[in-house]
Amino acid sequence: MEWGMKNRLSQLIQRDGRALFLPIDHGYFQGPTYRLEEPGKTVEPLLPYADAIMLTRGVLRACIDPTKSKPIILRVSGGTSMVGEDLSHEGITTSVKEAIRLNASAVSASIFVGSRYEHETLINLANLVNECEEYGIPVMAVTAVGREMEKREARYLALCCRIAAELGARVVKTYYCKDGFDKVVRGCPVPVVIAGGPKVDSELEVFEFVYDGIQKGAIGVNLGRNIWQHDYPVAMIKALRAIIHENATPREALDVFSQAKNTGKR
C-alpha cells in the first residue's frame, strides 16, 4: 500500500483500529431530512467527537467550516430521490478530481446488490476504485437496500460485503444483523463499519447493537440519524465514542449518555 493511501486511511481509522464516522449525506436523496435541515448547525457540536464526516460536495462547500473540519468521506454516487421510480438507479455524480480539490480523505458510493440496477452500481464502484487507486484515495462501498429493509439479513449482507471488497473497496459500510453478523464480517477481507438504518426506540438499543457488532468484528460505525435526530445528540455521540474507542459496555455507555445529558448541552 502506497504512502498516500496509508495516510488517508490512518486519518479515518484511528490508532486503536476503530472508527466513528458521522454521515450527513441523507439529503442527496431525501431532501431536507428532519433535524438535518441546516447541516452546518446540526454537525458543528458533534464534530469534536467524530473521526470523520460523510457528506456531499454541496453540503461540504456550503455548510462546513474548512478551518474546523474533520477528515471527509465524500459521497460521490446519487442521481435518485425518494419520489423517483427506483432508488437503486444511481450513477457517479462527483469526479475524483473534485474529491482531490476538496481534500477528501475517502469517497463513498452505494451498491444495490439484487436490485434492477445491480450491474450498473457494481460497475460504478469498480470504475471508481480504478480511478481512485491512481491517486491513493480509499473508496468506501455502501451496501444499500433502498426501501427493502427486510434484506438486512446475514446471508444477503455477507454477499454484498464480499462483492464490494472483491471489487476493490477499502472499507465497507453495511447494516447490522443480530443473527450471523460475525459471518458477514469474517467473509469480508476489508474493514466493516456498521450503518445505522432507521432511528430506533431507545438509547440502549443503539448501544447494544453497536457493541455487539464490534464484538463480532466491525471496526466501528457510520451512524447518522440515531445521533443527530436524537434530542441529545452530543450525549449520544459521546456514549457511542465510549463504546468504540474505550471498550465501554452498553450499560456503561448509557451512564456516559446520562451524565452528558444532565451536564451538557443538547
Asked if 125 contacts 91 with a C-beta cutoff of 8 angstroms, the reply is no
**Confidence at residue 148, expressed as pLDDT on a 0 to 100 scale:** 64
Cα separation, 239 vs 236, in Å, equals: 5
> Which of the residues 70, 151, 173, 261 is marked catalytic?
173
Asked if 13 contacts 191 with a C-beta cutoff of 8 angstroms, the reply is yes
Q: What is the mean pLDDT of the chain?
A: 95
Is 173 known to be catalytic? yes
pLDDT tens series, the chain, 266 aa: 899 999 999 999 999 999 999 999 999 999 999 999 999 999 999 999 999 999 999 999 999 999 988 999 999 999 999 999 999 999 999 999 999 999 999 999 999 999 999 999 999 999 999 999 999 999 999 999 866 666 689 999 999 999 999 999 999 999 999 999 999 999 999 999 999 866 678 999 999 999 999 999 999 999 999 999 999 999 999 999 999 999 999 999 999 999 999 987 66
Report all structural domains of the chain as residue ranges with CATH numbers, in order of start: 3-196+217-223 (3.20.20.70)
**Confidence at residue 266, expressed as pLDDT on a 0 to 100 scale:** 65
**Confidence at residue 150, expressed as pLDDT on a 0 to 100 scale:** 67
**Confidence at residue 57, expressed as pLDDT on a 0 to 100 scale:** 98
Cα separation, 160 vs 157, in Å, equals: 5
Helix (H) or strand (E) run with residue 214 in it: helix 203-215
Give the number of residues written for the chain: 266
Strand duo 171-175 + 139-143: pairing:
parallel
**Confidence at residue 243, expressed as pLDDT on a 0 to 100 scale:** 98
Output phi, psi for 171, to 5 deg: -140, 150
